[in-house]
A and B are shown apart, each in its own frame.
Chain A
C-alpha cells in the first residue's frame, strides 16, 4: 500500500541561548492510507515535536526544521508557502491535542468553533455550516442543542469529543492524535478511543496516534514506531513489535508494564533517564542504559536494519544476527 505521509530524514532542532536541543534526529517514517501508526516513547522523546513538525507549527524563532522532507501525497509540505500550508491544516491533516481543558477557545461557543473550521475550508452557506456543525456534534455523541454552549460548560471527556469533532469536521485524510486520552480518566479514555476508532473507519482516515500507553497502542494501531531521544529505534507491524520486540529499549518498555499471566514480584523498569537532548551521547543514544551495550555502541550510531516483513530495528545486535 502507498504511503499517505512519508517523513524522510527529518531533523528538528531548537536553538536556545543555552545550547541546541536536538529534539528530532533523522526520522524516517511512513503512514499508509487508512492505517493507524502508533508512535510510542517516553516523555521528551520528541513525539510532540515530530507531530508539530508535520503541521509546521514548531515554535519560532527557536525551533527550526533543519533538514529532511515531509511528503504528503508526494508533495513536500516543507516547501509550501504559509498560505498553502493553512489549506493543508484542518482540511487534509488535522491534529488533536493532549489536553482538552486548554485546547478550546474559552470565549467562543462550541458550535462556532466547529463551524469555523468548516467555514475556513469549504465554500458553503451559513445554513450549511450550521447543519454540518450539528451533524458533527451528533457524530461524536453530543446532542446538537449544546452547540450554543461554551467550553467551560462541558466536562473533560465531552471537550475531547468536541475537539475530535473539530478535527474531523472537514474529513481530513490524516489525523494526528497527540496523546488524546492522557488527560482523561480510564472509563472516558475507553469511550473516546472507541469513538475515534469507529470514526476513523467511517471517514477512512489515516491516523498517527502518539502515546506512551502500550495498552492504547495494542487496541488501536496497525503499525508501531518506537521513538527514543528523537530517533525511531524500532518500527514494524503491531503483532511483530508486541510478540517479537528486538530493540533492547522496546524490550525494556514491555518489561516495565505488568502482565496478567506472569507471576512476578517486581517490574523491571529501564534504569536511568532519557539523555539530555542538549547533549546527546556519542554513538547509539541508548548505550548508557542498555544492558547489552558493546564497545561499538559507544562509538557509532547504528543503522536501521530491516528484518522480515517490514520490521526494522536500529541496533548493532541485529546487525550481527544477519
Chain B
C-alpha cells in the first residue's frame, strides 16, 4: 500500500508539468525571436506562392499572362513609384511590373528548393540509414559510390545534368537534388551509427522488433534532429543553386519570373536601372537569411543539451 501511495504522488508531481517532446521543442524555439520572425516570413512566402497558384487556377492565368509575362515596352525600365502600388518596385527591361514578377516568382524558388531538398533527403536518408545500420560491406559499397558523387563539384555536376537532359523544370529539380544526395546520406549514416548501438535499440530487438521496424521506429526518429536542420539550410542552398543555374541560363527559362533568372536578365542594365537587379537580389537574400536563421533556431530547439 505504502508503495502505491509513493507512486501516485510521484505521478501527480510529474504530470503537473507534463509536456510532450514537441511542446517542449516549440517552447524552446519561441525563445529565439529572430527565428520566430524568420518562420513567419517563410510562412508568408509559402502562403504567397500558394495564393498565386490558386489565383492562376481560378482566373485561368489571366493576371499571370497580362502582368507577369506580357511585355509592355512603353514602361521599359520604369523607376519605382511609391504612390503607385503595382509600380512600387518599378518595371524591368520589358516593362513588366517587378512586384508582380517577384510575387509570381516565389513558387519557383521556394517550391523547387523545397521539393529538391525533400527528394534528396528521402533518397539520401534511405541510402544512409541502410549503410549505417547494416555496416560492413554494404556500407562500404554504398558510401564509396557516394564519395564518387561527392568528389565532383556540386555546381559542375548540376550543370552537367541539366546540359545533358536539357533545361526544364523537372530536369532542374533533378540536377539540384542528385548532387545533394551524398551529403544527406553521410549525415544520416553518421547519426544512425551513433544511435544503433544504444541500449534501447537492443531492448527493442529483445522485445522482438524486426530490422525495418528498428530502423523506422527506433533509429530514424532519434536521428532526425541534425537532418532536419541540415534540410532547412539545404533549402537555402538549393535556392541559391537554382538562381545560379538560372543566371547561367540553364535553370528556369525566360519568360518565367524566377528570381535568379530575373537577376541574370537584369545584369545588363545595372548601370541604367538599379532597381531591377536589387529587388530580386534582396528577395533571394532575405529568403535565404530567413531559412538560415530558422534552421539555426530549430537546431537549438532540438538540441537536448541546451535544455533549461
B8 and A104: CB pair below 8 A? no
| Residues of chain B contacted by A88 (CB below 8 angstroms) | 208
Q: Mark B121-138, 1 if CB is under 8 A from A, else 0.
A: 000000000000000100
Pick the contact of B7: A57, A103, A108, A142 (CB < 8 A). A142
| Residues of chain B contacted by A163 (CB below 8 angstroms) | 203
| Residues of chain B contacted by A108 (CB below 8 angstroms) | 217, 221
Tell me which of A37-45, A148-156, A250-258, A303-311 binds B. Answer: A148-156
A272 within 8 A of B: no
B14 within 8 A of A: yes
A149 and B18: CB pair below 8 A? yes
Alpha-carbon separation in the docked complex, A148 to B204 (Å) = 19
Q: Mark B171-206, 1 if CB is under 8 A from A, else 0.
A: 000000000000000000000000000111011111
A154 and B14: CB pair below 8 A? yes
| Residues of chain A contacted by B18 (CB below 8 angstroms) | 149, 153
A191 and B3: CB pair below 8 A? yes
* Nearest CB in chain A: distance from B134 CB, A: 10
Contact A116:B209 (CB < 8 A) given known A104-B203, A149-B15? yes
Contact A120:B208 (CB < 8 A) given known A105-B222, A153-B14? yes
| Residues of chain B contacted by A194 (CB below 8 angstroms) | 3
A146 and B15: CB pair below 8 A? yes
B10 and A155: CB pair below 8 A? yes
Pick the contact of A116: B4, B7, B200, B217 (CB < 8 A). B217
Contact A104:B200 (CB < 8 A) given known A55-B206, A149-B15? yes
Chain B residue at minimal CB-CB distance from A95: B206
A89 and B222: CB pair below 8 A? no
A141 and B205: CB pair below 8 A? no
A106 within 8 A of B: yes
| Residues of chain A contacted by B209 (CB below 8 angstroms) | 86, 116, 120
A interface residues, how many (CB within 8 angstroms): 46
Pick the contact of A94: B19, B206, B217 (CB < 8 A). B206
| Residues of chain A contacted by B213 (CB below 8 angstroms) | 120
A87 and B10: CB pair below 8 A? no
Alpha-carbon separation in the docked complex, A286 to B14 (Å) = 49
Alpha-carbon separation in the docked complex, A159 to B203 (Å) = 13
A117 within 8 A of B: yes
> Which A99-154 residues sit within 8 Å CB-CB of chain B?
99, 102-109, 116-117, 120-121, 141-143, 145-146, 148-150, 152-154
Alpha-carbon separation in the docked complex, A120 to B102 (Å) = 53
B221 and A107: CB pair below 8 A? yes
| Residues of chain A contacted by B205 (CB below 8 angstroms) | 55, 57, 89
* Nearest CB in chain A: distance from B21 CB, A: 5
| Residues of chain A contacted by B15 (CB below 8 angstroms) | 145-146, 149, 153
| Residues of chain B contacted by A121 (CB below 8 angstroms) | 208
Contact A106:B222 (CB < 8 A) given known A87-B208, A121-B208, A191-B3? yes
Q: Mark A62-88, 1 if CB is under 8 A from B, else 0.
A: 000000000000000000000000111
Between-chain CB contacts (< 8 Å), 18 pairs: A57-B206, A86-B209, A87-B208, A89-B208, A94-B207, A95-B203, A99-B199, A105-B217, A107-B21, A108-B221, A116-B217, A121-B208, A146-B14, A150-B20, A153-B15, A154-B14, A158-B10, A191-B6
- Give the 8 A-B residue pairs with the shortest CB-CB distance, closest first: A90-B208, A90-B207, A95-B206, A102-B199, A89-B208, A107-B221, A103-B203, A117-B207
Q: A116-B217, A163-B203 are in contact. List 20 more A-B contacts (CB 8 A).
A: A86-B210, A89-B206, A90-B207, A94-B207, A95-B206, A102-B198, A106-B21, A107-B221, A109-B20, A116-B209, A120-B213, A143-B7, A145-B15, A146-B15, A149-B18, A150-B20, A153-B18, A153-B19, A154-B14, A155-B10
